Amino acid sequence: MYETFHFVSAVLDPTFQYHLALARVWAELARSLSDAHIVPINCSAYAERIKSGVDQLKDLYEDKMAVRPEPITFAAIDEQLQKFTMAAADLHKRIENMDKSDPFAVRAVNDQLMLLERAFIEPQGMPGKPYHRHAVFSPANINKAYRDAFAVIADKMLEVERADDPELAWKEVERYMAIAAFVLDSAATTLMEVDILAKDVSSDESRYNS
């Protein structure tokens, strides 16, 4: 699974200069993240990247889904993706306008940013690859030609074409379309504004002294 020390030192990187360069990059990245006042995650760019993948899925499969007796649509995914996009834009607007000297406000925003990825986790994992649990960007298991967001839907659409029982395969498509909408809704909720309990020392003192 991994290269041996002898193979690396004798063939791949005899002077270990590439290992050293990568170690420096990772160290600088870690330093940058640890020093950042606000976790440097661009949620709006994340939303745009997901939208690009959803648009590709539509180009490939929307017509096939529409001709079913009970059509499958991207309406729920579109609705939740729009919700996530708006929540991301609102979060970045709040970050721009927030009092960055307020530790409670900074902590609240950083917690939201760090919890974002958890919203995209599917606990049971992807079909055939239970160790791949990211519902958005886990790689395809069957449809290797598809390399974008929600690859599991592309996998399930390929299974529809190959299945002995297409109706059962279509139910799996519906299931993972619903999961896609759910994780987008969870991500949007994670980024929404929460009430911050301000610590008013003077009011506490007056209350206790009264």
Given this model, what pLDDT does residue 194 score? 75
The number of helices, as runs of H, and strands, as runs of E, in the chain is 8, 0
Structure tokens at 168: 């059962």
* Residue 200 maps to a domain: no
Asked if residue 150 and residue 102 are part of one domain, the reply reads yes
Does 23 lie in the same domain as 74?
no
Q: Do residues 126 and 110 both lie within one domain?
A: yes
Q: How many domains does the chain have?
A: 2
Domain residue limits at 161: 39-194
- Cα gap 94→86, rounded to integer Å: 12
Q: Are residues 75 and 106 in the same domain?
A: yes
Same domain, 77 and 142: yes
pLDDT of 17-52, one tens digit each? 999 999 999 999 999 888 899 999 999 999 999 999
Q: In the beta sheet, which residues pair with residue 44? A: none
User: Within this chain, do residues 23 and 52 fall inside the same structural domain, yes or no?
Assistant: no
Query: What CATH number corresponds to the domain at position 49?
Result: 1.20.930.40
29 located within any domain: yes
**Residue 13: C-alpha distances to residues 17, 20, 28, 92, 112 (Å):** 7, 10, 22, 43, 41
pLDDT digits over 128-152, tens only? 889 999 999 999 999 988 999 999 9
From the list 90, 86, 68, the residue with the least C-alpha distance to 177 is 68
- Are residue 64 and residue 99 in the same domain, yes or no? yes
Q: Let me know if residue 205 belongs to a domain.
A: no
Structure tokens at 85: 């996009």
- Structural domain contains residue 112: yes
Domain match, 27 and 126 both: no
Residue 15 is assigned to a structural domain of this protein: yes
Residues in the chain: 210
Query: What angle, 0 to 180 degrees and rounded to 10, lies between the N-to-C axes of helices 151-162 and 43-66?
Result: 20
